[in-house]
Amino acid sequence: MSGYKIELNWDMVDDIVVSQLKDTYDCFMKDLERPNHVFVYGDHEADCVEIQKRIDALKLVLEWYAKTEQLKEWGFNA
């Protein structure tokens, strides 16, 4: 079995993590607009409350890890 060795520096790892967090944030933002059932089936209002909790948590983490330029680009208060 052959494999590949990939070397990443901490900045690269941070960029990957921030990118994935932002993608998740964006998906949850879209879920607020759709009558999907992400956390609470059959109750859109309760589902939106649960989705918003995750959005708020992701925003807090992104504000900690993302670069100031990224936050400004996304419209966050940076």
Tally of domains in the chain: 1
Cα Rg, the chain, nearest whole Å: 16
Q: Tens digits of per-residue pLDDT, 63-73?
A: 999 999 999 99
Measured CA to CA, the distance from residue 18 to residue 69 in angstroms comes to 13
Which among 60, 49, 67 has a CA at the least distance from the CA of 25? 60
Burial of 66 (0-12, 13-18, 19+ CB in 10 A): buried
Query: Residue 4: inside a domain, yes or no?
Result: no
Structure token digits, residue 58: 């992701």
| Structure confidence at residue 57 (pLDDT) | 97
6-57 confidence digits (pLDDT tens): 999 999 999 999 999 999 999 999 998 887 788 999 898 999 999 999 999 9
Q: What is the domain extent for residue 66?
A: 10-73
pTM for the complete prediction? 0.84
3 found inside a domain: no
